[in-house]
Amino acid sequence: MIVCVCHRVSDKTIAQCARSGMAFDDIQLELGVATQCGQCECSARALVAECSPAHAVAHLHLHAPEQASLASARAA
Ligand code: FES
């Protein structure tokens, strides 16, 4: 999906840059995101925050009974 229409920058491109460790300002400078009309800035910033390596990721710790039920569900 195109996030920045003015510069034809997609969400995949922004996410890829963010995952590689680029900050919003770096992405803005490199790709021109949010440098023309500015309509994409909120979406682009949210995407960068979501995909940044520093973004906390939830970890699920399953207890043995739950793992067993998941294993049986997968086998079915
Ligand atoms: S849509 Fe990104 S600057 Fe216009």
Q: Is 2 in the pocket of ligand 1 (CB under 6 A)?
A: no
pLDDT at residue 55, rounded to an integer:
73
Q: Quick one: DSSP state of residue 36? A: S
In whole angstroms, what is the distance from residue 27 CA to residue 64 CA?
43
Q: List pLDDT tens digits, range 36-66.
A: 999 999 999 999 999 998 776 655 666 666 5
User: What pTM, to 2 d.p., does this model score?
Assistant: 0.73
CB 27 within 8 A of CB 37: no
Ligand 1 pocket test: pick from 36, 42, 48 the residue with the most ligand atoms within 8 Å of its Cβ: 36
Q: What are phi and psi of 4, to 5 degrees?
A: -105, 105
Q: List pLDDT tens digits, range 10-28.
A: 999 999 999 999 999 999 9
The pLDDT of residue 68 is above 60: no
CB-based burial of residue 60 (10 Å sphere; 0-12 exposed, 13-18 middle, 19+ buried)?
exposed
In whole angstroms, what is the distance from residue 4 CA to residue 70 CA?
41
Q: Is 6 in the pocket of ligand 1 (CB under 6 A)?
A: yes
